[in-house]
Amino acid sequence: MKKIIHLLLLTIFIFPIYGQNSDKILDRLKAIKNKDIILYNIDGIDFTSQTFSNNFSKKGLKKIFKKYSIRKKDVKIKDGKLVFNNLHISKTKKISENLTQNNSYYFVENKNKRVTVFWFGSINKEQKKLERQLIQLIINNELPKKTFHQTKIDSIDFVGRKIKLGNGCYWTNINTIQCPYKGEMNWSIHKNLKSAEESIQYQLAILKAKKGGKITSEEILEIKFEGTLTKSKKIIYDFTGTKSLLAGISGGKNLTVFYVATKIRENYISCVLSFWNNDQKTKTGLVPLLDEVIILK
């Protein structure tokens, strides 16, 4: 059940990104296969691709549109900058006064004459150039093996360092690892520090916009993150006095969350780390997963 809670609160899935050359994209792109859907992460954004057996025709697309909640009134246009036959739909959703989520859907005829659907999400602006680059790489099967995480894990490659986790941890999303009662973290590799900082700023803003809880504490701490001295924002998100389904399922009363954006091993990274008040604490005051990457000063 905690898997559901953390996924809803803290996963990285709708953040702005910047155009890059394809070779740099491959340095930062990560993916994981989840049955018939592939999840991807790059520069703080999660996106998906899914291939159907339907033909790229009015009849073939009708059922797929329904699956993705695409209505007849939604404007469907061909993106002429893609070399593949396609239909593109853009939809927006207001999250808060200052945050708008942009959902970008591409229904693409792949090389097997079937339909592959791509979904991208971003905050406050669309990123068409990068979306097209990624679609091109994926449709042409140009992703290297190293791009894909293994679904079953006892260790993870955390930005170039292997972290041994044992058998109790699992992916809840791409680049999002949870160890029950021992903490959770998600991360993304970015082109530059500005992109990493914006990613955690938007994640915090989205958390603040959620209902069912409130931030009761917010402070800036100096920490060592993967051996690098940096600053982190630490917040306490409290459910006391609320009738939150999330808090009821978890059994916890509050979440402690660290937001980090820094450079490690020549990579710019955004990372969000969290644990519940009833998780297993260590002598550091943190939990085992966070102890792997954070030292409090």
Strand partners, 222: 231
Is 48 part of a structural domain of the chain?
yes
Helix/strand/coil percent split, the chain, to 5: 25, 45, 35
Strand partners, 228: 225
Q: Which domain holds residue 170?
A: 2-10+151-296
Specify whether the CB–CB gap between 89 and 105 falls below 8 A.
yes
Q: In this predicted model, what pLDDT tens digit does every residue of 40-70 receive, in sequence order?
A: 888 877 789 999 999 999 899 999 999 998 9
Q: What is the pTM of this model?
A: 0.76
Q: How far apart are CA 176 and CA 272, in angstroms?
A: 9
Mean pLDDT within 147-176: 82
Specify whether the CB–CB gap between 170 and 260 falls below 8 A.
no
Query: What residues contact residue 90 under an 8 Å CB cut-off, 6+ apart?
Result: 75, 102, 103, 104, 105, 126
**Which one, of 176, 137, 111, 116, lies nearest residue 20 by Cα?**
137
Q: In this predicted model, what pLDDT tens digit does every residue of 241-297 receive, in sequence order?
A: 555 545 545 567 889 999 999 999 888 999 999 999 889 899 999 999 999 999 997
Greater confidence (77 vs 173) lies with 77
Rg (CA), the chain: 20
Quote the number of domains for the chain: 2
Q: How far apart are CA 173 and CA 103, in angstroms?
A: 18
Shared-domain flag, residues 160 and 66: no
Shared-domain flag, residues 6 and 34: no
Mean pLDDT within 139-150: 85
Greater confidence (213 vs 183) lies with 183
Phi, psi angles (nearest 5°) of residue 289: -65, -45
Choose one of 123, 147, 171: the last residue of a domain: 147
Phi, psi angles (nearest 5°) of residue 13: -150, 0
Is 16 part of a structural domain of the chain?
no
What pLDDT is stored for residue 101 in this prediction? 81
Q: In this predicted model, what pLDDT tens digit does every residue of 205-235 receive, in sequence order?
A: 888 887 778 889 999 999 999 989 999 999 9
Shared-domain flag, residues 164 and 271: yes
Q: In this predicted model, what pLDDT tens digit does every residue of 90-121 receive, in sequence order?
A: 988 887 777 778 889 999 999 999 999 999 98
Q: Which long-range contacts (CB under 8 A, 24 or more apart) does 49-55 make?
A: 49/116, 49/117, 49/118, 49/138, 50/116, 50/117, 51/110, 51/114, 51/115, 51/116, 51/117, 52/114, 52/115, 52/116, 52/117, 53/114, 54/114, 54/115, 55/113, 55/114, 55/115
Mean pLDDT within 160-185: 86
Is 101 part of a structural domain of the chain?
yes
Query: What residues contact residue 6 under an 8 Å CB cut-off, 6+ apart?
Result: 172, 176, 178, 184, 274
Tokens found for residue 282: 């260590």
Is 15 part of a structural domain of the chain?
no
Shared-domain flag, residues 285 and 173: yes
Strand partners, 123: 101
What pLDDT is stored for residue 8 in this prediction? 39
What pLDDT is stored for residue 89 in this prediction? 93
As separate numbers, helices (DSSP H) first and strands (DSSP E) second, the chain gives 7, 16
- Please determine, for residue 11, whether its predicted confidence score (pLDDT) is greater than 50: no
What pLDDT is stored for residue 251 in this prediction? 66
Greater confidence (140 vs 46) lies with 140
Residue 86, sorted as left (phi over 0), alpha (psi -120 to 50) or beta, turns out to be beta
Choose one of 147, 164, 186: the last residue of a domain: 147
Q: In this predicted model, what pLDDT tens digit does every residue of 155-168 receive, in sequence order?
A: 888 888 888 887 78
Q: How far apart are CA 197 and CA 204, in angstroms?
A: 11
Greater confidence (236 vs 248) lies with 236
What pLDDT is stored for residue 210 in this prediction? 79
Is 274 part of a structural domain of the chain?
yes
Choose one of 96, 123, 147: the last residue of a domain: 147
Shared-domain flag, residues 128 and 256: no
